[in-house]
Amino acid sequence: MAFWWPLIVLAFAYAICRFLLMLIPVNVPSIDVDASDVLEGNQSQENSFIYVPPRGRTQQSDKKVQCYEPATMKYLGYCPALSTAEVKDHVAQARKAQKVWAKSSFKQRRQFLRILLKYIIEHQQLICEVSSRDTGKTMVDASLGEIMTTCEKITWLLSEGEKWLKPEYRCSGRSMFHKKSKVEFHPLGVIGAIVSWNYPFHNIFNPMLAAVFSGNSIVIKVSEHASWSGLFYFRIIQAALAAVGAPENLVDIITGYAETGEALVSSVDKIIFVGSPGVGKMIMRNASDNLIPVTLELGGKDAFIVCEDADIPHVAQIAVRAALQSSGQNCAGAERFYVHRDVYSSFVSQVAKIVSSISAGPPLAGRYDMGAICLLEHSDKLQNLINDAQDKGAEIVARGSFGHLAEGAVDQFFPPTVIVNVNHSMRLMQEEAFGPIMPIMKFDTDEEVVKLANDSRYGLGCAVFSGSQRRAKQIASQIHCGVAAINDFASTYMCQSLPFGGVKDSGFGRFAGVEGLRACCLVKSVVEDRWWPYIKTTIPKPIQYPIGENGFEFQESLVEALYGLNIWDRLRALVNTLKILSEHNSGSTKARDD
């Protein structure tokens, strides 16, 4: 007992010291970011009129990206549509910066993350307002989708990022037991990202954080539908990089249309794309010219499954949030709802009551549950999907209402809608809607609902609700998708230690988690002598050139000695191997004597 006492005291003292260190605040400098031109009411007069989008001209020919508020159609200004030559110049500058940053310490990289985290926490309202103005989402949805997810990623990288980028030692196997084997993770160089408009803040920070922390530079092409906010968020990143002495141009944000994106794909060392399947296929074709790795996140048609033993009032609230996530027009959340026949009526009644109370209106007014649709004419697509479903027998049972809308901006809003009697012959159940619509379908058995959930060209995620967690897990395990939530929705994305991505037309590759972090790296296998210089690899004499007559017999015995299925066969083979070596050595010695 006397032996253990000192160890116990030392362990206790160590724990106390670690706890006390946690109480000491980390010294994190503050950064100043000019926001005078992005706050509502602080813009010049020419940037306050109602914007009327031009028609009949190609986008790239304008050489400008026009920016406006979807909720009010107020003009925000414009950004340049960069040419191919301009993009290549931006990438070249990022490549120079990366060569310097690759030598940076993890201490410096962590400080960069802490500075960002401090600014985000202290300026949540500003970040959310900018996102809201550019995409039409509400402040609450901006906080959930932009702030929380980004903070979670930063804290995960601070806690575990370095551990997963250090060399990882692996088993050397039986034949190489005298060797040390490891995997090293080196930065790829310049990462390119082409991101969508639905989360303008998080979609920039998500790939940027992983790329920079793993030693890369990154050039991000933001969507033409969210360029105004993207350029403001770029200021935050620039200020944080300057605060830690990082090289200029390590992170860059570019704006433009298809030509700009194509130029980026042809210039970088890896491309991350968030968008539609059609554009994703074009990205892959262009990336194949230089054989660079590609990560594609292409949306989904996620199944939301409610079994008869689920807590219906509780699940109904989650279901509406899932359908209307990010104001219902900014995220491909749950788009197909399958409810067991025994609780179908109860579930429909619950969600209809909730949806009927929802009002859409200008998000910054502060009294609306839903904001505006970001994309022009997208409401027409949503209405066409509903019309097709109604023509085939579907029925609308509930719709939300409109609040006070800006003049000329009615088409930018779409009421949340609950629609029943749907089936898979309807476009609404097959095409990605990207809108605040809840199509609800009955099912009878677990086998049937699995078949229905898998009847889709998409495979991003699913959510399964049941009073039996084991049953929910069994159903989810049979659905062909990349992420699954048991008795919850979207919780997988809040766990930033987990990889995120899909299958089929939802894309491939993963970002977030260990897999996403290491996907920004050149993965290099390294083998070295374990006891160098005392034990080194030598070629046995029977298989040295010129190969002896018994060379194959030696190899055959060696393989069995190393990998035989039982100890006696291996011992017999080992004896034969040593015998051949002895005979060969004896023959060599005799030849030298003669």
* Catalytic-role residue among 69, 146, 297, 432: 297
Please choose, from the candidates 284, 213, 140, the residue with its C-alpha nearest in 3D space to the C-alpha of residue 511.
213
CA angle (557 as vertex; 555, 561 as ends), nearest 5: 115
Interacting residues of 225 by C-beta distance below 8 A, sequence separation 6+: 135, 197, 374, 375
Task: Say how far apart CA 250 and CA 572 lie, in whole Å.
Answer: 61
Chain position carrying tokens 């004499």: 541
471-507: burial string, b at 16+ Cβ within 10 Å, e else: ebeebbeebebbbbbbbbbbebbeebebbbbbebbbb
Backbone angles phi, psi at 403, to 5 degrees: -95, -150
DSSP state of 398: E
Which residues have a Cβ under 8 Å from the Cβ of 130 and sit 6 or more positions away? 38, 200, 201, 229, 232, 233
297 carries an active-site annotation: yes
Q: Which residues contact 244 (CB under 8 A, 6 or more apart)?
A: 108, 111, 112, 115
Query: Would you call 89 helix, strand, or coil by DSSP?
Result: helix
Q: How far apart are CA 442 and CA 305, in angstroms?
A: 10
CA 101, 104, 106, 111 dihedral sign is negative
Q: Give one DSSP letter per residue of 203-268, joined into a string.
A: HHHHHHHHHHHTT-EEEEE--TTSHHHHHHHHHHHHHHHHHTTPPTTSEEEE--SHHHHHHHHTTS
Cα(117)–Cα(407) distance, integer angstroms: 39
CA distance 571 to 577: 10
Side chain identity at residue 382, one-letter code: L
> Would you name the residues annotated as active-site residues?
297
